[in-house]
Amino acid sequence: MSFLPRRLICAALLGAPLLMSACAPDANQFPPACPGTALLGPTADVAIYRPGTKGQDLTALMLAGRMETIQGKCQPGEKKGTVAATVVVGAVLTRGPAMPGNEARVPIFIAVTQGDRILDKRIYAVDAVFPSNVDRVTVSTPPVNMVLPVTPTKSAAAYVIMAGFQLTRDQLAANRARGAQ
């Protein structure tokens, strides 16, 4: 190797950290505040019974589920005055004795709130496949990306991202009757 190419390589290697540091956030800059997260108590459980059955007989139970996790992370948004948040919601589903087949689809909602106001709510279908001889599986939503507006006086901490099962009125009433908060 001749002397000139070796010098160029050395110069490039020495200059690389300086170029990389131009892409990084300021050393004195804190990451943005993130919104709070919560699983909405009355919607954290779901029980789906065979259509046409009266009451909640265990032999008519097709599927039961419990919300387990809501995880998120955030970073400065691409546009000034925004924070980009990514959320994944996880649940455990149990196959009941009346479930036909080994596949189920369960609706889960993710909502952004500020105080008592719901600013946005989306419903996502989560699919579950129960392998043979397995009655319990863990499922999660794909990463859900949200862009939240922020100002110098209102950070992303002013928002709460909530999740739960998208229940029917009867399912919600049954959860509330059981004392789900």
Instruction: Walk along the chain (181 residues) and give the pLDDT tens digit of each residue.
Output: 444 454 444 444 444 444 444 444 455 566 678 999 999 999 999 999 998 887 678 899 999 999 999 999 999 999 999 999 999 999 999 999 999 999 999 999 999 999 999 999 999 999 999 999 999 999 999 999 999 999 999 999 999 999 999 999 989 998 998 876 6
Alpha-helix residue ranges (DSSP H) falling in the chain: 3-21, 169-177
pLDDT at 160: 96
pLDDT at 17: 46
User: What residues does each domain of the chain span?
Assistant: 29-177
pLDDT at 172: 93
In the numeric block, which tokens belong to residue 61? 């139970």
Integer Cα distance of 163 and 152 in angstroms: 27
- With residue 48 as reference, give the H or E element that holds it: strand 45-49
Integer Cα distance of 103 and 127 in angstroms: 7
Quick one: three-class SS letters along 103-143?
A: EEEEEEEEEEEECCEEEEEEEEEEEEECCCCCCEEEEECCC
On whether the CB atoms of residues 104 and 93 are closer than 8 A, the answer is yes
3-state DSSP helix/strand/coil percent for the chain, to nearest 5? 20, 45, 35
